[in-house]
Amino acid sequence: MLYWLGTAAFALAILISVSLHELGHMITAKRFGMKVTKYFVGFGPTIFSFHRGETEYGLKAIPLGGFCKIVGMTPQDDDVAPEDQPRAMWRFPVWKRTIVMSAGSITHFVLAIVATWFAAVFVGLPNPDLPQTAAEERAIPARISVGECVQLVVTDQQGCAPTDPKAPAAVAGLKSGDIITSVGGKPIQNYGELTDAIRALPPGEVPFGYTRDGVAGTTKVNLISAQRAPLDDPDGEVKQVAVAGVGPRLDMPGLVTYGPIDGVGASFDYGWTLVKASFAAMKRIPEKVPALWNSITGDERDPDTPISVVGASRLGGEAIERGVPEIFLMIFISLNVFIGLFNLLPLLPVDGGHIAIAWYERVRSWIYARLKKPDPGRVDYYKLMPLTYAVILIGGAFTLLTITADVVNPISIFSR
């Protein structure tokens, strides 16, 4: 029950976010004097609506977003009444149109920052002192965390399965918190050297030197073979290597809470981290399409593949079911940052496409004025329709692919 309540709550939170996105467009448009004729939550058949002033507000049957109708978004709009021509959006200065079109994304960013501040003060944000890169992870001390088992193949499963063998380090008597000083007689200075030394050896018994509470000791660890990606490249080629069933142990919390004032700076720092991660995720989308398709046709789902709102809602449901609402909150924050950035891409039909065209027109007019040539006028949106349709087709196909993968072979943050 908690799972389905969490899933519904996350879907509702995203619907509210998208509705506020459209509200941002509407409020700024009205402030500048543009005419807004419709504001609806959802799509499809109308459940109810009412008029207030010159705008119709209402709810539609399909809760997959929302929209607001601003009169005359482009010069080619042919449904602008003669009396509304002076208030057509395309007639307003470019800076006003930019504010109106970017207001939706700004709303997502504001939601993300507010939610991040709430997390920083009441839940905690990821500890910035934890290793952020593979190089930083390699450089940390060789203080180990000993697992209960070893997963022989690369998987997103959390915890031990009945078929997973016990961790060789645990069998040999090593304990979490031990500092490894040597492997096979080779001195160890950090976790990167520890991993390199273990993977360079064949499976079998190897002497490990360690210190525990300042006391030196030795033990023999029976290394076993398992699939692992390179430590420096988690997305790299998976190979069979020797493993001991140990990982890095960091004596610091995974989440850090802040005071109300310090939480503001921490929220913006974390938000910038999410911005960089979102751009990196966008660049990886094309290369992840084959993995998405393969997950539908029977392969194991790559946990690093994109997810849809359906998949995000399922993850939110899992978080509530397992009693970790902080994960619910972090997914909500990340998704708002991603949606906000995606809507600013300079492609029609998203908001960034309209902004790009507005500024292209402004710069082109400025250049022609300097060259003492007639103003070339507005961009003909009809000529851009083939490109717009291509973006819609590709975006629609990708959305359908991710939704199908999230239904047929969903990503799970916990083992079930």
Catalytic residue numbers, as ranges: 22
In the numeric block, which tokens belong to residue 9? 């709550």
Positive or negative, the CA dihedral 55, 57, 61, 67 is positive
CA 62 to the chain's CA centroid: 25
Q: How would you write the chain as a 3-class SS string? A: CHHHHHHHHHHHHHHHHHHHHHHHHHHHHHHHCCCEEEEEEEEEEEEEEEEECCEEEEEEEEEEEEEEEECCCCCCCCCCCHHHHHHCHHHCCHHHHHHHHHHHHHHHHHHHHHHHHHHHHHHCEECCCCCCCHHHHHHCCCEEEECCECCCCCCCCCCCCCCCCECHHHHCCCCCCCEEEEECCEECCCHHHHHHHHHCCCCEEEEEEEEECCEEEEEEEEEEEEEECCCCCCCCCCEEEEECCEEECCCCCCEECCCCCHHHHHHHHHHHHHHHHHHHHHHHHHHHHHHHHHHHCCCCCCCCCCCCHHHHHHHHHHHHHCCCHHHHHHHHHHHHHHHHHHCCCCCCCCHHHHHHHHHHHHHHHHHHHHCCCCCCCCCCHHHHHHHHHHHHHHHHHHHHHHHHHHHHCCCCCCCC
